[in-house]
Structure formats: structure tokens, C-alpha cells
Amino acid sequence: MNRALVKKTIISERKVGESEVSVFIIIYLFFSSDREVNIKGKFRESYLLPALSIKPVLHPDSPIPREKLNPPTPSIYLESKRDAFSPVLLQFCTDAKNPVTVIRGLAGSLRLNLGLFSTKSLVEANGEHAVEVRTQVQQPADENWNTAGSAQTWPCESSRSHTTIAKYAQYQASSFQESLQVHIQTSTIFISDQKSIGKIIKFGTNIDLSDPKRWKPQLQELLKLPAFMRVSSTDNMLSHVGHTILGMNTVQLYMKVPGSRTPGHQENNNFSSVNINIGPGDCEWFAVHEHYWEAINDFCEKHGVDYLTGSWWPVLEDLYQANIPVYRFIQRPGDLVWINAGTVHWVQAVGWCNNIAWNVGPLNPYQYQLALERFEWNEVKKVKSIVPMIHVSWNVARTIKITDANTYKMIRHCLLQSMKHIQILRDQLTAAGKKISYQSRVKDEPAYYCNECDVEVFNLLFVTSENSSRKTYVVHCEDCARRRSPSMTGVVVLEQYRECALLMSDSLSLSLSLSLSLSLYLF
């Protein structure tokens, strides 16, 4: 049996308040290279432990009556600014049973100046800023016709091009003027334009508002939001990535005309999201609980469109037939939509409007579990996990005091699996006589992904030099490195952490240190 690897345990005390003393136990694990190798196979274990699952049980077995397939959307009307900062709001939004929450008039109760995101202000601020354009066919929100117009279907392709904020603003304004004239002629006043079908429209999407210098007043205004909704906060996992993930831990803007569609999707790695309608028009939302994502995935497969990377618009009747409840609601200007972890959703503009959105990762067991589940599913489907969950888990464990016992257990399990993976890999490399070079991480160094299969590569990097004169280095995962060269010739193995230091706190720390030494001993 291998000797225990825990070489040093430091117990330190820190005064937190007048009376409270927290005990922090730091466990340094030195990975020794001289251990006997007794594991031949590859590490293929999950980072999740099924016994720790905290998913809610929804409608076990019994069919849902038709009238209950359109449940009312969980909604909150804030009476005062104080309500917005109440812990009850966070609890409600992150409740695993609430796939989506609309917070009515949030902008009003917090006195947010949404005018800063109006088309006029945006043009004045940065008219030349880049806008991605989706060209789409305008259709009623609950319909999606095939190109022949003969039947409803799931795929909804749109072509992509680019423009600027100023040019899109012109298009948005002239589209509005045009419809006013049409309506004046028919002597009817409509705020929306949903009657027209088949018109070609342009949707201005993924406009990057990350630059703090360029968008200072806009970004500052969003600091008025409650902490858990902000772009950045301590308990937000995305604030512990250590680098920018555009549109996830930064703000994105959407500029719309009626009919602009955001096709069905779950957020990257099942993270939660915040979306504020700037107005003046409304948006219509459709949302389905995470519990049903596999059923929706099956529909996509049946229609030949990729669930994770393709564009699809669910046919509502298909969902009802499959006994899947759909939340459907209107988001008015100033309303904030909170998309809970893993919720499948799709959105269509009813009127002319702008929206701002970003992701958040509230540190709770439901969010953490779903993020890791999607991390593993992405690997199976060879889709990149935009959130490097192993890197984030280590960062979170090092920097946040985790008070929730379930979150703590899940993260601990993930880190143990991560260490086990590293141990096995290192042992195998050493046994094969492969040298491992230590190269510590620098500040703001991003997480790494395999150049071939897009899997996250943590701590042990398999590096090749693609062009020796220009010194371009490419990172691979173990599998892809071996595929290139079974003996790994020309592959340098870099290790980024000399030792994995874990910092945990309070009563939870004892169980951590015990099980850590135990599991390492059992290797």
C-alpha cells in the first residue's frame, strides 16, 4: 500500500469578530513522484457523486392534465427598494422548483436609469461599436414554419453578418417608422407588429459591453442591483474564473425589432442568467424546467438539429403532447427575468426593444451540480465547456468560505476526483519515464483547453511546439497528445501547481482533512 501523502497540516486561528474564532486547516498535498504505480487504467470517473444529487422530484410518473401544462410564471412585485435586497428574493429565484422568475418593475423600484441603454444613448456613447446581426424570418411567437411554409418544425436557421450600433440603430428606427405608417394607413394603432409573417428582419445580438472605459456609466448603473444579480459578486462562481468570459461574466446587449428570436437553449454550463428589458417594446418568453432537457434534446435529434450547438424553436404542441409544462410570459420594460440554473428558454421580441443580459453562478448545490453535469455532458458531446469547472472549483474552494453543507460536499468530491486524476496521470507518466516540468501559473493566466477536443486541461498540460521559430505552443489533453504520438515524443508535460493547497474552514474542515488523507491513502 502507498504511504499517506499528506505531509504537512497547518492549523491556524484567525479572529473574525469580537468573540468568534474560525479555525482554518490548510492541507498541503505534496505529490510524490517515487510512489509505486499500481493503477494501469485511465481515470474515467465522474466529478459528481449521485448520492449527493439534490435535484427536485417533479411530477413523479403521473401525467400532468392539459390545463396545467401552462403554469403561471413565478413573479415578484417589489414594493420597495428594501424588498429587492431581502434574502427572500435570492431564495425564491434560486429555488430549484422555480425555473424562471420575473421581477416586475425592478428597474423602477431600484431607480435604475435604463435610459443609459436606450438606442439613442448607445449611439452617442459608442456608435461605431460592433454588432453581430442575425437575419431571420418574422413569425408569430408560437409558430415556426419550415422554409417551404408547409409545416411547423424545430430547426430555425438564421444567417450571420456584422454591422455597427449606429447602423443598426438606423435600421431599428426606420423599421419602427415604417410600421407606424402602415398602421396609420389602416387607422389602427398597434404597439406591436406581430401580424406580419414572412418579412425578413435583422436582430442585433451579442453586443459586447465588457470594456469598463467605454461603457462606464452603463456598467456603474448596474451596481445598483442586489449583489446576487450583479455581473460580479463574491458568491458568484463566474467571479472566480480569473479571466473574462465574454457575455458570461460581462454584459451583452441585444437590439431588436419585432420578431427577433433567441432560439431555444440552456445557458453555457447550465449557469443562471439575468436579463433586463430596456424597452420601449415587450419581449415574449418561453421556459421549461431543466428536468425536461433530455426530452427536448430528443425532439432536436428527431428533427436533425444539434441540441447544444444548433438553432431550434420548439413546436409548443410537441411539448404539450410530451407532457412538458411550458412557462410563457411577457417581459415589459424594466422587468428583470431571472433564468434559474439549467432552464431551457427561448425568446421573441414583441415590439422594438433593447435587452441587456449576463450570466451568474450563485454558489448553491443545485447550480453547482447542474454546472458540473453539463461540464461532463459537453465532454461526451465534444463541445467546449465555456466555464472551466475544475479550475473554477479549485478557485472557489480557495477563496470562498462555503457555508452550505451540500455545496461543500459536492465541491469536496470534485476536488478529490481532480486530485485523484492528477495522481494517476502523474504516476503513469513517471513510470513511463516521462519528465514532468514545473511551470507555475502567472497572474490572470486563463484556464486551458485541449486544442483538439476542447476538454478542460487542468494542472498537467501536454504541450507541443507547432512552429519552433515563432514559438507557438499548443496545449493538448492526455488522450489527444497520445493520439499524436503514443510515446509522447515532442510533447512536453508541464505541471502548473507544485502542490495543491486546499483551504477550508470551520466545522467542515475536519471532515475534509480526515477523508482527504483517507482517500489518498486508499489510492
Residues that bind Zn ion (CB under 5 A): 450, 452-453, 477, 480
- For strands 100-104 and 130-137, give the pairing: unpaired
Q: Which is nearer to Zn ion, 157 or 452 (CB)?
A: 452
- Any idea how long the chain is? 523
Grid cell in block for residue 480: 489527444
- C-alpha dihedral sign at 101, 107, 112, 114: positive
Kindly state the smallest distance separating residue 295's Cβ from Zn ion, in Å. Answer: 30
What is the rounded distance in angstroms from the CA atom of residue 165 to the CA atom of residue 408? 44
Whether the link from the prior residue into 217 is cis, omega within 30° of 0, is: no
Q: Work out how close the CB of 457 gets to Zn ion at its nearest, in angstroms, rounded to a whole number.
A: 8
CA distance 143 to 418: 45
- Burial level of 252, CB count in 10 A (0-12/13-18/19+)? buried
Task: State how far Cα 267 lies from the chain centre.
Answer: 5
Which is closer to Zn ion, CB of 291 or CB of 476? 476
In the complex with Zn ion, which residue's Cβ is closer, 335 or 478?
A: 478
Cell matching residue 447: 484556464
Q: Residue 309 CB, nearest distance to Zn ion (Å)?
A: 18
- Give the single-character DSSP code of 81: H
How far is residue 329 CA from its own chain's centroid? 23
- Residue 37 or residue 492: which is nearer to Zn ion going by CB? 492
Nearest approach in angstroms of CB 10 to Zn ion is 37
Nearest to Zn ion of 494, 504 (CB atom): 494
Angstrom distance (rounded) from CA 480 to CA 164: 40
Looking at beta carbons only, is 408 or 462 nearer to Zn ion? 462
Return the closest-CA partner of residue 509 out of 405, 422, 421.
Answer: 405
Residue 198: phi, psi to the nearest 5? 90, -5
Measured from the CB atom, is 306 or 452 closer to Zn ion?
452
Residues 313 and 288: their CA atoms lie apart, in Å, by 13
- Judged by beta carbon, residue 263 or residue 388, the one nearer Zn ion is 388
DSSP conformational letter for 15: E
Q: How far is the CB of 376 from Zn ion (least distance, A)?
A: 15
Beta strands in 456-518 (DSSP E): 456-457, 460-467, 472-476, 492-495, 499-505
Rank residues 27 and 477 by Cβ distance to Zn ion and give the closer one: 477
For Zn ion, the closer CB: 81 or 382:
382
- Are the C-beta atoms of residues 460 and 428 closer than 8 Å to each other? no
CB 341 within 8 A of CB 287: no
* Beta-strand pair 436-438/492-495: parallel
CA distance 222 to 230: 7
> What does the angle CA 444 – CA 450 – CA 452 come to, to the nearest 5 degrees?
145
Query: 449 has which bridge partners?
Result: 456
DSSP letter (8 states) at residue 74: P
Distance of alpha carbon 468 from alpha carbon 479, whole angstroms? 23
Q: In angstroms, rounded to a whole number, what is the distance separating the alpha carbons of residues 513 and 9?
A: 9
CA 216/CA 165 separation, integer angstroms: 17
Whichever of 235 and 456 has its CB closer to Zn ion, that residue is 456
Q: Report the residue number, 278 or 450, with the smaller CB distance to Zn ion.
A: 450
Distances (CA, A) of 197 to 5, 25, 139, 293, 450: 68, 64, 5, 29, 44
Specify the pairing of strand 200-208 against strand 436-438: unpaired
Instruction: Pick between residue 90 and residue 480 the one whose CB is nearest to Zn ion.
Output: 480
